[in-house]
Amino acid sequence: MENSQFISIVEDILEVDSGSINTQDSLDSLGWDSLAHLSFIAELDRLGDMTVDVSLLAQAKTVADLLLTVSEG
């Protein structure tokens, strides 16, 4: 998954303007919470053929960390 597509997903989940998030942003500063975790997993499931490593997801601190939790295929 490309960074831009991934960031767009995160922006949609957080309901923020396009272009307002970058990969180095802290999830805490963005208001990321347990509901965002669930929405994130559901969105990737909807897109298909992607899985999330939930142990890494629980440890994610930045948007870049979130991207590392996703596996395609």
Quickly name the fold that domain 3-72 has: 1.10.1200
Residues 35-62 pLDDT 10s = 999 999 999 889 888 888 888 899 999 9
DSSP codes joined into one string, 37-49: HHHHHHHHHHH-S
Average pLDDT over the chain reads: 91
| pLDDT at residue number 9 | 93
What is the per-residue pLDDT for 73? 60
Ordered by start, the domain boundaries in the chain are: 3-72
Q: Which pLDDT value is given to residue 64?
A: 94
What whole-number distance in Å separates Cα of residue 47 and Cα of residue 14? 18
pTM reported for the whole predicted model: 0.87
Contact 19, 55 (CB under 8 A): no
